[in-house]
Structure 1
């Protein structure tokens, strides 16, 4: 068996294993991969906000800061690489050109990477904390 067909067989095995994960296991696996990569990359002030049952957009949101635009860009690249290497290659990215605020949509997990002053300005932790505690409004 040549190297290409051997790699294709491994890719299929990984894809089959991922397809057997429950939605909760899949979400937790993606979150764990992201948090490990951010830790490896020395991300600062990492916050995880659980969204399951509060929002349909994702099961969790991760917010982290980088020391500079270059650091934010490197973290984004490495998070995408780790997800792809683990078989979660459908993540999408926005904001990579400026790297002040980079958003990664990793299906079940949304990641916001900021420079510190941009993070302070938008203060997503407060916004999502207030949204999580807001009373539900009945349909009118």
Structure 2
């Protein structure tokens, strides 16, 4: 009987790990796609639009399908900026925690989730900070985050 429960528990853990790593692998191809985050299983339906943190709308002319909001930003010990972002697309909403190096024009996603709290603790496997050149959405988000933090984004 114990062997049967152990086998069942092991199977459930493997299934849970497989589902999580599958999601991470799909998102890890070229990093996390912020433009398509609301289309993934990370997002949820936004039944109520009365968000506790409204945030500031970020102008993103490169993505007219979605609306992005800066919920908060803070300086990290190394001088980079950590930002919490919300993407709204139709009835779907997703959150991301991103790191921006304003002086070096670098950006990466630290965590994503269906809520602000889950994005704060999640690990997105987006890789190291990377240049934003050629990535208009990341450049628009980084520019806004840097401006709001009082550290302007360095010239290209």
Normalising TM by the smaller chain, what interval?
A: 0.3 to 0.5
Structure 2-normalised TM-score? 0.30
Name the one with the larger helix percent. Answer: 1
Name the one with the larger strand percent. Answer: 2
